[in-house]
Structure 1
Amino acid sequence: MYKFCLLLVLVACALVLTEAQLTFTSSWGGGKRSTAPNPCRSDDAVGQIYRMIQAEAERLLLCQKP
């Protein structure tokens, strides 16, 4: 019974790994090779982080003034 269960687990693992290959076809051609659109612009994010750091630095300076 132990060997049968082990064989069943191994077959199940092999099926999971090879499932995607069953639907592959060579007639798809080259296809479109584009990347997913990036909703976050890095320059906007860097600018926002810079403004946040600058505002926090100003708050710290106000706290240190006598």
Structure 2
Amino acid sequence: MGTPVHEKKRQIHYLKQKMTLMQEALGEMENESDLQKGDIERIEKILQDTAVKLRQFKQDWKENEER
């Protein structure tokens, strides 16, 4: 997932992978007594990375519409 993604189909696939990753991370947080600060920070990082990609994808889609 380290290379730029410009095709809409691949962008949607990327987002689905990120959501699956977040869902799995949340699923691992079932036992409240085992939760640690790093757990919530991992979720925050996934959300931040996804937000960055969403802005990039939004710009790509806008540019493609203008062509």
Verify same fold: TM over 0.5.
Answer: no
Q: Normalising by structure 1, what TM-score?
A: 0.39
Q: Normalising by structure 2, what TM-score?
A: 0.39
Q: Which has the higher helix share?
A: 2
Structure number, greater radius of gyration: 1
Greater relative contact order (Cα 8 A, min sep 6): structure 1 or 2? 2
